[in-house]
């Protein structure tokens, strides 16, 4: 009797590119990608970020050109970060209508209209001389409730500048409820909130510190999550949704795919993830050394984030990846 081998052969569905495409479970689309962008006050031209090859701090002129390119790529949105020339203890530049982030927001809305969603980082760390995400108390700790007042003012400044989605990334208790309340009370009830709900005190933010020229001394472990705590990330996600968030986020992505998957399982609102600067820098460095296939590694990394449950991904490769997706569509 001839042995026929196994009857169940999963490899049948991997036999050709067409077959693999037909049965693929996770697909990427440019509309699911958001490009973080840095705008530097007083810059005459784009300034390369050495730890993030291919990413720059934009001047206002280079920012305008980059916005057009981003819209042409068909991505879903841009997330804006300001790099001010002057900082103080209160982060005054964050609420100054002529501060760099609010100026950049108005430019983006003017340039893009409804072509994609203009999003703004609502946090004080780029604007404070101490580099923390909030106002400091006399003992040097971050004063949660005093910080909420600054966030409320910042929300109005960003909404008045035309921001179409406020990204609350400071990890203060009650920040979503505080911002939702002031937006509703000041006539911005239609402005949505993206809550960085499960934001961890991660080592993978290093290159971002260069990107925003952070002045931080110490760490943010009293308000960002401990990397070992998965349940706490889910608790924060549930709290932010209950306070009125329209979207919740897990950050970083790569080391927290379990948290992302759990959040996606329980959330009734969209769940996003941020592929952070360190994730970007590691792949770029390995590719530059010839250790990995750059394009395959980028595509695989973003697919893994979507597979874990992210409805959209903030990634510094958003525009480049969108171009590849158009090539293979």
Environment class of 140 (CB within 10 Å of its CB; exposed 0-12, middle 13-18, buried 19+): exposed
Rounded to an integer, what distance in angstroms lies between the CA atom of residue 145 and that of residue 68?
39
CA quadruple 315, 117, 272, 299: dihedral sign: negative
Phi, psi of 263 (to 5 degrees): -65, -40
Q: What is the pLDDT of residue 24?
A: 94
| Helix 175-185 / helix 230-243 crossing angle, nearest 10 deg | 20
Residue 241 corresponds to which tokens in the numbers above? 């949704």
Domains in the chain, start-ordered, CATH in brackets?
30-328 (3.20.20.70)
Rounded to an integer, what distance in angstroms lies between the CA atom of residue 263 and that of residue 139?
35
- What stretches of the chain adopt beta strand conformation (E)? 33-40, 47-48, 56-58, 77-83, 117-122, 165-168, 193-199, 247-251, 271-274, 312-314
Phi, psi of 247 (to 5 degrees): -140, 145
Annotated active-site positions, please?
199, 251
Q: What is the pLDDT of residue 133?
A: 87
CA–centroid distance for 136 within its chain:
25
C-alpha distances (whole Å) from 302 to each of 33, 69, 152, 204 are 9, 21, 33, 16
pLDDT tens for the chain, 329 residues: list them: 667 889 899 999 999 999 999 999 999 999 999 999 999 999 999 999 999 999 999 999 999 999 999 999 999 999 999 999 999 999 999 999 999 999 999 999 999 989 999 999 999 999 999 888 899 999 999 999 999 999 999 999 999 999 999 999 999 999 999 999 999 999 999 999 999 999 999 999 988 787 777 777 778 888 899 999 999 999 999 999 999 999 999 999 999 999 999 999 999 999 999 999 999 999 999 999 999 999 999 999 999 999 999 999 999 999 999 999 998 86
Q: What is the pLDDT of residue 212?
A: 79
Q: What is the pLDDT of residue 215?
A: 77
Contact of 194 with 247, CB cutoff 8 Å: yes
C-alpha distances (whole Å) from 194 to each of 89, 141, 181 are 25, 26, 15
Q: pTM score, two decimals?
A: 0.95
Question: How many residues are recorded in the chain?
Answer: 329
- Per-residue DSSP letters for 146-192? HHHHHHHHHHHHHHHHT-SEEEE-S--TTHHHHHHHHHHHTT-TT--
C-alpha distances (whole Å) from 140 to each of 38, 90, 103, 132, 298 are 28, 13, 31, 10, 40
């Amino acid at each position: 009797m001839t042995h026929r081998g196994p009857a169940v052969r999963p490899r049948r569905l991997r036999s050709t590119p067409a077959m693999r495409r037909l049965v693929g479970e996770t697909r990427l689309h440019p509309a699911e990608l958001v490009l973080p962008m840095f705008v530097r006050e007083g810059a005459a031209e784009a300034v390369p970020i050495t730890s993030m090859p291919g990413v720059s701090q934009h001047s206002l002129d280079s920012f305008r050109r980059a916005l057009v390119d981003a819209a042409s790529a068909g991505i879903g949105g841009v997330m804006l970060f300001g790099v001010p020339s002057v900082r103080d203890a209160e982060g005054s530049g964050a609420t100054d209508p002529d501060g760099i982030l609010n100026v950049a927001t108005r430019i983006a809305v003017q340039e893009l209209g409804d072509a994609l969603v203009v999003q703004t980082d609502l946090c004080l760390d780029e604007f404070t001389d101490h580099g923390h995400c909030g106002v400091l108390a006399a003992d040097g700790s971050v004063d949660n409730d005093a910080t909420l007042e600054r966030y409320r003012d910042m929300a109005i400044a960003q909404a008045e500048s035309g921001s179409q989605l406020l990204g609350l990334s400071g990890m203060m208790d009650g920040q979503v409820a505080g911002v939702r309340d002031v937006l509703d009370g000041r006539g911005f009830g239609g402005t949505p909130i993206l809550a960085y709900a499960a934001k961890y005190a991660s080592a993978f933010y290093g290159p971002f510190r260069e990107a925003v020229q952070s002045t931080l001394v110490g760490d943010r472990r009293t308000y960002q999550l401990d990397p070992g705590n998965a349940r706490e990330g889910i608790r924060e996600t549930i709290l932010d949704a209950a306070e009125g968030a329209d979207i919740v986020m897990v950050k970083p992505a790569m080391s927290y795919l379990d948290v992302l998957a759990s959040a996606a399982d329980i959330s009734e609102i969209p769940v996003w993830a941020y592929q952070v600067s360190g994730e970007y820098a590691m792949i770029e460095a390995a590719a530059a050394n010839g250790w990995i296939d750059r394009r395959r590694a980028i595509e695989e990394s973003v697919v893994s984030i979507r597979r874990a449950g992210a409805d959209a991904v903030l990634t510094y490769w958003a525009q480049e990846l969108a171009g590849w997706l158009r090539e293979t569509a």
